[in-house]
Amino acid sequence: MSHVQLKNIKKTYGSHVALKDVSLSIDRGSFFTLLGPSGCGKTTLLRAIAGFHQQDAGEILLEGQSISHLGANKRNVGMVFQDYAVFPHLSVFDNVAFGLVQQKLPVAEIRERVAAILATVQLDQHAQRMPHQLSGGQQQRVGLARALVIRPKVLLMDEPLSNLDAKLRVELRRDIRSLQQTLDITTVYVTHDQEEALSISDQVCVMHDGVVQQVGTPWIVYNRPANRFVATFVGSNNFLPVALEGAGQPLVLGQSLAVPKSVTSQGANGLVASIRPEKIVVNEALSEPGLHFGGVVRQAMFTGRELQLTIEVTGHGLIEALTEPSAVMIALKPGDAVRLGVRAEDFLFFAPGVSGALLQ
Amino acid sequence: MRAAELRGPAGMRGSVRIDFWSVTMAVALAIIGLVLVWPILQVLFLGFFDPESKSVSFAGYVKVLSHPYYLGALWNTMLVGVGGMVGACLLGVPLAYCTARYVVKGRGVITTLAVLALVSPPFIGAYSWIIVLGNNGWLTQQMKAIGIAVPTIYGMAGIILVFSLKFFPFVYLMTESALRNINRSFEEAAENLGCTPVQRFFKVTLPLVFPATSSGAILCFVLSIADFGTPSIIGRDFRTLSTIAYNQYTSEMGGTPTMAVSISMLMIVISMLAVMLQRHLLGKRRYAGSMTNRHVQLEVRGWASAGIHTLCYAVVGLATLPIAVVIYTSFLQTKGPVFSGGFGFNSYARVIQEVPEVIVNTFRFSLLATLLITVAGGLMSYIIVRRETKMAGFLDSILMVPYVVPGVVMAIGFLLTFNKAPLDLVGTGSIIVLILFIRRLPYGVRATSSVLRQIKPSIEEAAVSLGASPAKAFFKVTVPLMMPGIVAGAMMSFITAINELSSTLLLYTAPTTTMPVKVYNAVLDGEFGIAAALSTILLVSSGLCVYGVLRFSQSKEGAFV
């Protein structure tokens, strides 16, 4: 059932519309991620749930009850901040105990609960340390423990990993996810990192210009992007123009391609086909129906796990391909001719315009 | 405080919320209205009032802008203002360049001496220089003995000398910190593109520190034209607007002080123009810099090193000479008002016997004012920094006013405002506490807001999301973090409060005499021993506070400018 519900939330700052009529429903116990570029409204939305600013219109429901009229200190939601916001004048223990002291709980219970949560985030050795003695990752663990120890109804996280270095980010990401699953706590998470969003979430909500573009599982968002914006923002993609010649077969890269009915019925110019770089096979024959075409390598970049090729398709511009870095592939140099293949079913088609909808 | 519960319902944007901070805001505006805006409006309106015909008139202003007596004072004021400013820059900028760019031994000593010069009572410079270079001055006598006539210290040259040496630390401290904060890559890039070191200084370094240096310079100008003690002690026939405003007011006493008020308005206008000029000059020149490439101080040897050290120590030595003279003089044996040769504690004994109450008064008034400034300043700075409402912006701008209103003018406004029931405060200690409060409040607000700006708002939001009310979050989380800044700001307020002369001189009565007032009167009466002893007490108190500020303030000497 839905645990957090947002109904028609609107928010403007002067003439800038930060949120245009956003409605969402977040399931109990799910890890729900707001993903989008900076300025898309994701943080505004999170802070409206936290109560740090009031929406101009709309309703926020928690467990079916409206919390719109409650101050931020009455909402019982846990918040983890991008800059940690660990109180610099309090020890780790006192930081984590802050919310419990606020609730005027007995000292013994506070001790017990703080100790337990510090053990969970592996900071039990550091309880008496001051924040400046901790690394960034440890400080964020304090922030996490402090938000969780009050047993909030919802955990809100505002880009909690973006100030950490790459390796630590992946490590803490795993810890956050497993902690969330163990505690079974509804979590709303904000990030601009699409890889992070895909790897950590039950549901991903892609936002752009204050509008929800798509809500779905990571698998759906990646493989069935609702529109061209999502297809561009989540993962990388090649976009190829589709030419419709009269009532005949549509042409992609100058070759005719069998496409769904909904595509041909559009009957207009400006249709676009997309293909993920990793779906392109290089110098290999396809076993299923699809397109074959030739091109010339312009750039080859070896990243360790894979080889990124930029290929100029004769007469049709540049496309990106990702391949396994086998010995043969690594030998490719700019100027080498290659044969490329794409299965027909790996193409997606979008209506005209930069945010044209997916055509099923 | 259950402030958050009183928030308006969702969707009611712009509705008035009665919470802790809106109440605080209202109280703040009421206080500012009563002790700042109202007295200044009184001054403004009285200038348009003709006491004879009892009607609206521009006569006062016309007279100030046409009569040679007033025009002369205006011209003199501009001369000492510009002179003091230029002198301060000529001393401050080279000193800043030396200590920021070269290894100078005892940099801490240099900075501390500069800060001491800055916080010492403003008028002791004047009378110390009389002791050294006056008609009967020590150096004058020595030089006369070997047949050299020393130019007179009285008049314009002396005032400019005193102002330059008194106010240069503003230019020095601001420029020095700006020089340290310039990314070295800028200068390296200039060199790489073919600049000689001299070209580099004028084409890159100086423009980059210009915002800081000009801020310091304008501050020197505003303080120079507002200063009362110095021109009145060594000006002799050289009158400035602040001395004639004081004289006019005391001579118009009982009547309508139209002329004093007209002069006051003129002084406010000049200060405001100066501040506006500086803002205009700065325009959009805000240089945000990342500090990836820090400057290292160059080690120089031989003559260059000797030259740099001589320059640095000569400047701060001259600036602190008055302090040394005052302390030395205070321990000279006296007989009545004359020095009788040898050392002794006579002057201190006379202070204790004859005027112990001025010491008590000074500390009592200053402590009370500091307390008020600390509480009001802390709350107001929070409103200004964290509440981005129109009212907060208004509060921020209105707090600029005391910077440009000279003490004499503020005092006249107070005398015009608080002279009848229910606010008949003339002659009481309260009026002195209030004027100290309003004159120094902006400095208190500035000290705390700079600390507050370094505290991330998310810290407080974290407390609120953990269940603390906004007021509780402020007192439990923000206040403890602001504490070092609050303490440093309070000590700064205290230093300026105990040394205040230009406003209190018009407001004091016999039972509310303060130390600076007593020093001023003692100097005029030729009682140099008592003046020196009292000044030494002020100096030691200020020095102790400087030590406190250096301990509590993160930016160290930056706290003084």
Q: Testing the interface with A: which of B17, B388, B460, B466 to mutate, by most A Cβ within 10 A?
A: B466
Q: Closest partner residue to A83 among B5, B7, B458, by Cβ?
A: B458
> What residue has token string 């200038």?
B47
Cβ-Cβ contacts under 8 Å, A148 against chain B: none
pLDDT tens by residue, A238-269: 999 888 766 667 788 888 887 777 777 766 67
Report the gap between the CA of B401 and the closest CA in chain A (Å).
Answer: 30
Kindly state whether residues B250 and B382 are assigned to the same domain. no
User: Nearest CA to A260 among A274, A252, A250, A270?
Assistant: A250
Q: Closest partner residue to B11 among A57, A143, A146, by Cβ?
A: A57
- Measured in residues, chain A has a length of 360
User: Nearest CA to A130 among A172, A163, A94, A100?
Assistant: A94
Q: What is the C-alpha to C-alpha distance for residues A67 and A71, in angstroms, rounded to an integer?
A: 8
The top-level CATH class assigned to A2-227 is alpha beta
Q: Rounded to whole angstroms, what are the CA distances from B102 to A69, B244, B311, B312?
A: 60, 45, 12, 11
Report the gap between the CA of A202 and the closest CA in chain B (Å).
Answer: 25
Both structure tokens of B122: 């403003």
Kindly state whether residues B215 and B321 are assigned to the same domain. yes
Kindly state whether residues B315 and B375 are assigned to the same domain. no
Q: Check CB contact under 8 Å for A77 and B477.
A: no
Cβ-Cβ contacts under 8 Å, A89 against chain B: 477, 480-481
* Residues B463 and A81 sit within 8 Å (Cβ to Cβ): no
Instruction: Find which of A218-227, B92-101, B272-281, B503-512 is predicted with most confidence, using mean pLDDT.
Output: A218-227
Q: Closest partner residue to A88 among B11, B465, B481, by Cβ?
A: B481
Kindly state whether residues B395 and B304 are assigned to the same domain. no
**What pLDDT does B192 receive?**
73
pLDDT tens by residue, B121-144: 877 888 888 888 887 778 888 888
In chain A, where the domains are located: 2-227, 236-359
Kindly state whether residues B449 and B509 are assigned to the same domain. yes
Instruction: Assign a CATH topology to domain A236-359.
Output: OB fold (Dihydrolipoamide Acetyltransferase, E2P) (2.40.50)
Report chain A's C-alpha Rg in angstroms. Answer: 25
Q: What is the C-alpha to C-alpha distance for residues A284 and A306, in angstroms, rounded to an integer?
A: 17
* Residues B88 and B220 sit within 8 Å (Cβ to Cβ): yes
B12 pLDDT band, cuts 50/70/90, is very low
Cβ within 8 Å of residue B388, ≥6 positions away? none
Q: Which of B330, B353, B385 is the last residue of a domain?
A: B330
DSSP line for B159-201: HHHHHHHHHHHHHHHHHHHHHHTS-HHHHHHHHHTT--HHHHI
Does residue B130 belong to any structural domain of this protein?
A: yes
- Structural element, H or E, at residue B217: helix B206-226
Q: What CATH number did the domain enclosing B558 receive?
A: 1.10.3720.10
**What pLDDT does A247 receive?**
60
Interface A–B counts its CB contacts (< 8 A) at 96
Kindly state whether residues B308 and B384 are assigned to the same domain. no
pTM above 0.95, yes or no: no
Q: Which domain holds residue B481?
A: 19-48+334-561
Kindly state whether residues B498 and B361 are assigned to the same domain. yes
Kindly state whether residues B43 and B65 are assigned to the same domain. no
Kindly state whether residues B165 and B272 are assigned to the same domain. yes
Mean pLDDT of A294-316: 92
Does residue B154 belong to any structural domain of this protein?
A: yes
DSSP line for A200-269: H-SEEEEEETTEEEEEE-HHHHHHS-SBHHHHHHSS--EEEEEEE-TTS-EEETTEE----HHHHHH--T
Kindly state whether residues B103 and B239 are assigned to the same domain. yes
pLDDT tens by residue, A91-148: 999 999 998 988 899 999 999 999 999 999 999 999 999 988 899 899 999 999 999 9
Kindly state whether residues B262 and B114 are assigned to the same domain. yes
Interface check for A132 against chain B (CB to CB < 8 A): the answer is no
For A:260-299, CB contacts with B below 8 A are: none
In degrees, to the nearest 5, what angle opens at C-alpha B237 toward C-alphas B236 and B239?
Answer: 95
pLDDT above 90 coverage of chain A, percent? 68
Q: Could you tell me which chain B residue has the CA closest to the CA of A104?
A: B467
Kindly state whether residues B29 and B114 are assigned to the same domain. no
Number of domains in chain B: 2
Q: Check CB contact under 8 Å for B473 and A73.
A: yes
Interface check for A98 against chain B (CB to CB < 8 A): the answer is yes
Average pLDDT, chain B: 83
Interface check for A8 against chain B (CB to CB < 8 A): the answer is no
Half-sphere exposure of B128 (CA within 13 A, CB side): 28
Does residue B221 belong to any structural domain of this protein?
A: yes
Q: Rounded to whole angstroms, what are the CA distances from B288 to A132, A150, B208, B209, B385?
A: 26, 40, 10, 12, 19
Q: What is the C-alpha to C-alpha distance for residues B93 and B166, in angstroms, rounded to an integer?
A: 15
